[in-house]
Amino acid sequence: MTPRVRAAVAAAVVVLAIFLPVLLPGYRSQMALLWIMIVFASTWDLLGGQMGYNSFGNVLFVGVGMYACVLIQRDAHLGYFAGLALGSLCGALLSVALAALLGSGILGLRGHYFAIATLGLGVAAGELAGGWDFVGAGGGMVPPLFPGEVGGRETFFYYLCLALAAVTIPFLGWLYRGHFGLVLNAIRDDEDKAEAMGLRTTRYKTAAWCICAFFLGLSGGAVGNLLGFIDPREVAFAGSTFGVWMVLMAILGGKGTLWGPVLGAIIFHVTKELFWTYLLGWQRVALGLLIVVIVVFFQEGILGWARQRWPERFGHRVEQDAAP
């Protein structure tokens, strides 16, 4: 793509994103959730795709952010928007602190061991929250009511979630273009080599997970308020839905690329919503089948497949004329 085409596409996407609630007012909540899914898939890819560390516990940070946000909304008595803002920020910071703490322990694990350890984290967090009276235990929590007029809530959360994605994606893109992204890729390709070359791998791994935790914690507050109810196992630490979906979306679109997870999230979310609408009763079966199809046929993802097919379009070319 030439820069001009690229700019035109970018402009079209921005305009479309801004006017979607006007075009499809009935789908604002689903579209808000779509932006969240894009954030989920993209941040999962930071570790899973770029760094090669498959985490099944990233949902931990979503849940922590969600609970922290709603607790502050409940107990700080700041008014709706101030409470939401402060709550989201605190949720994000708490998630970062947690990632730093846990990361120093389990990021020393490699491959499958790391994946299993993170899986345990998500499950444990759900059980803990489900038994803790201060956060409503198994009964969950209900965020405060949105103060505006009817319908204003959906519009507000659509733009909030859009803003989250609009900050997350360019930030990740900036990360991947610099030194940080290269180090993550080096860790993915050969961590022993990276250490032998003197790179401080642990520091980068922890930082990457903290970045991930920041955006997930930040979006946790928005998700909790958007859905309007926090259940410890089904919404906050929903390993079997959000937790699995973020992995699938990234794989479907092409892990290790900036736009793959975005593409994967869009396709996955739209397909899922269609299943729920047109295959009611069989929607979970259909979703299960989709998951199997993704894992069997799209191991490299859509963009990964495209990169194998047209490597030169991704910049992998030989310059024979420059040969000495």
169 binds another protein (CB under 8 A): no
- The secondary structure element, H or E, covering residue 225 is helix 201-227
Which one among 189, 278, 292, 310 touches another protein, defined by CB under 8 A?
189
309 binds another protein (CB under 8 A): no
Fill in the DSSP letter of residue 141: B
Distance CA 64, CA 87 (A): 11
Minimum CB distance to another protein smaller for 131 or for 170 = 170
Site for another protein in 49-88 (CB under 8 A): none
182 binds another protein (CB under 8 A): yes
Distance CA 137, CA 275 (A): 32
Tokens of 134: 């201060």
Q: With CB under 8 A as the rule, give the number of residues binding another protein.
A: 36
Which one among 64, 123, 183, 303 touches another protein, defined by CB under 8 A?
183
Three-state SS for 85-138 is: HHHHHHHHHHHHHHHHHHHHHHCCCCHHHHHHHHHHHHHHHHHHHHCCHHHCHH
- Residue range at the interface with another protein (CB under 8 A); choices 13-21, 178-186, 234-242, 259-267: 178-186
Looking up tokens 């990276």, which residue turns up?
194
318 binds another protein (CB under 8 A): yes
Using DSSP's 3-state secondary structure scheme, residue 300 falls into: coil
The CB-of-295 to another protein minimum distance in angstroms stands at 20
What is the x/- site pattern for another protein, positions 201-220, by CB under 8 A? x-xx--x-------------
Distance CA 33, CA 54 (A): 23
Distance CA 124, CA 105 (A): 16
Looking up tokens 């791998």, which residue turns up?
201
- Residue range at the interface with another protein (CB under 8 A); choices 4-12, 133-141, 219-227, 309-317: 309-317
What is the x/- site pattern for another protein, positions 247-286, by CB under 8 A? ---------x------------------------------
Give just the sign of the alpha carbon dihedral 241, 247, 251, 256: positive
- Residue range at the interface with another protein (CB under 8 A); choices 1-9, 116-124, 188-196, 223-231: 188-196
Minimum CB distance to another protein smaller for 4 or for 179 = 179
Distance CA 74, CA 142 (A): 9
178 binds another protein (CB under 8 A): yes
The CB-of-169 to another protein minimum distance in angstroms stands at 17
Which one among 78, 195, 266, 273 touches another protein, defined by CB under 8 A?
195
- Give the list of residues 6+ apart from residue 125 with CB closer than 8 angstroms, or none: 60, 63, 64, 237
Using DSSP's 3-state secondary structure scheme, residue 229 falls into: coil
What is the x/- site pattern for another protein, positions 127-166, by CB under 8 A? ----------------------------------------
Determine contact, residues 217/96, Cβ cutoff 8 Å. yes
Contact positions toward another protein, by CB under 8 A? Answer: 175, 177-180, 182-183, 185-186, 188-190, 192-201, 203-204, 207, 256, 311, 315-320, 322-324
